[in-house]
Amino acid sequence: MTPEEFKEHLAKQGIHLTDDQMAQFATYLAMLVEWNEKINLTAITEPHEVYLKHFYDSLTLAFSNDFHEQPHTLCDVGSGAGFPSIPLKIVFPKLRVAIVDSLNKRINFLTLLIDALGLTDVSVYHSRAEDFGQQPDFREQFDFVTARAVARLNVLTELCLPLVKKDGLFLAMKAAKSEEELYEAKKAIHLLGGKLIGETDVTLPISGDQRFIISIQKAAGTPKKYPRKPGLPNKKPLV
């Protein structure tokens, strides 16, 4: 996907990018490639692939969720190189973003990236998600919490749902559809105060790759014991 195709395909979804926003994405790409030579940020560095599989893919969240209206808050758990939160912030500048990642090298990259892109109202936190979700300043404070990660849904639910405010949404981005994964996450979703709203299928242009966005609404408060201590959600998932 070329930058021009990126702009054209987003326009078909009602997302119209300015020249300044296109310049921000070009800067993002350049910094991603430069820093990836120093630290492992992503296996995808070819420009056409970055525009499709990182930038466009991140923005698929906006196809079925409205980030326009009020200055919503969004927390990106395990953001890595800033996906999906930084592309969303570029396109929706009123969005207030918190990024959580456990690796300090990635936090350093994100801090410099945010400054280079001229973004405001973006905070980065060097923390394990389990610890972050127990902090009163962040617990049940966000309109949207998202994770674009390889962990199974029952694990992601424990890491993310405690951060979602009442009636807010946890949006899990998945590369593959799995009825088994949804089934095994039922207990965790219910236990942590969530309600499964639905699953949105997205087809990436050009490649035809499938993506799946699972939407879980916060229906009730999360019991204080969750998330459990670092490592436990992965070692002993809620099933």
Residue 82: closest CA among 74, 72, 71, 70: 74
133 is in an annotated binding site: no
Instruction: Domain 3-221: state its class.
Output: alpha beta
43 is in an annotated binding site: no
Burial pattern 132-155, b for ≥16 Cβ within 10 A else e, equals bbbeeebbbbbbbbbbbbebbbbb
Burial status of residue 37 (CB atoms within 10 A of its CB: 0-12, 13-18, 19 or more): exposed
Every domain of the chain and the residues it spans: 3-221
211 is in an annotated binding site: no
In whole angstroms, give the CA distance from residue 106 to residue 55: 18
Is the distance from CB of 101 to CB of 80 less than 8 angstroms?
yes
78 is in an annotated binding site: yes
188 is in an annotated binding site: no
Note down pLDDT in tens along the chain; length 239 residues. 999 999 999 999 999 999 999 999 999 999 999 999 999 899 999 999 999 999 999 999 999 998 887 779 999 999 889 999 999 999 999 999 999 999 999 999 999 999 999 999 999 999 999 999 999 999 999 999 999 977 899 999 999 999 999 999 999 999 887 788 899 999 999 999 999 999 999 999 999 999 999 999 999 999 999 999 999 999 999 98
**Tokens at 46, concatenated:** 């070819």
Burial pattern 165-203, b for ≥16 Cβ within 10 A else e, equals beebbbbbbbeeeeeebbebbbebbebbbbebeeebebe
